[in-house]
Amino acid sequence: MQPILQTPRLDLRPAALADADALWALWTDPAVRRFLWDDRVISPIEAADTLGDCLALAPKGLGLWVAEARDADAVVGCAGLLPVSTAASYDPRLAGLVEPLVALTPAVWGRGYAGEMLDALLAHAAGALGLARLAAVTDVPNVASDRMLQRAGFDVLGEVPGPRYRLRTYLWHAPPSSDAVER
Ligand SMILES: CC(C)(COP(=O)(O)OP(=O)(O)OC[C@H]1O[C@@H](n2cnc3c(N)ncnc32)[C@H](O)[C@@H]1OP(=O)(O)O)[C@@H](O)C(=O)NCCC(=O)NCCS
State how far the Cα of 128 lies from the Cα of 118, in Å rounded to an integer.
15
Question: Which portions of the chain are predicted below pLDDT 50?
Answer: none
Ligand 1 geometric centre to CA of 59 (Å): 30
User: In the prediction, which pLDDT does 129 show?
Assistant: 96
Ligand 1 atom nearest to CA at 138: 47
Domains in the chain, number: 1
Check: CB of residue 28 under 8 Å from CB of residue 42.
yes
Half-sphere exposure of 168 (CA within 13 A, CB side): 16
The kind and range of the H/E element at 50 are: helix 44-55
Ligand 1 atom 8: residue of nearest CA? 109
User: In the prediction, which pLDDT does 176 show?
Assistant: 85
Q: Is residue 183 part of a domain?
A: no
Check: CB of residue 15 under 8 Å from CB of residue 78.
yes
Q: Is 26 in the pocket of ligand 1 (CB under 6 A)?
A: no
Ligand 1 atom 25: residue of nearest CA? 143
The CATH number linked to 23 is: 3.40.630.30
Q: Is residue 159 part of a domain?
A: yes
Q: Is residue 181 part of a domain?
A: no
Q: Is residue 123 part of a domain?
A: yes
User: In the prediction, which pLDDT does 138 show?
Assistant: 96
Burial bucket for residue 54 (CB in 10 Å: 0-12, 13-18, 19+) = buried
Domain span holding position 150: 5-173
User: In the prediction, which pLDDT does 31 show?
Assistant: 97
User: In the prediction, which pLDDT does 41 show?
Assistant: 98
User: In the prediction, which pLDDT does 182 show?
Assistant: 59
Ligand 1 geometric centre to CA of 146 (Å): 8
Q: Is residue 180 part of a domain?
A: no
State how far the Cα of 14 lies from the Cα of 29, in Å rounded to an integer.
22
Q: Is residue 76 part of a domain?
A: yes
Ligand 1 atom nearest to CA at 77: 39
Ligand 1 geometric centre to CA of 9 (Å): 17
Q: Is residue 28 part of a domain?
A: yes
User: In the prediction, which pLDDT does 179 show?
Assistant: 65
Ligand 1 geometric centre to CA of 102 (Å): 10
Q: Is 102 in the pocket of ligand 1 (CB under 6 A)?
A: yes
Q: Is residue 64 part of a domain?
A: yes
Rg, Å, the chain Cα set: 15
Q: Is 32 in the pocket of ligand 1 (CB under 6 A)?
A: yes
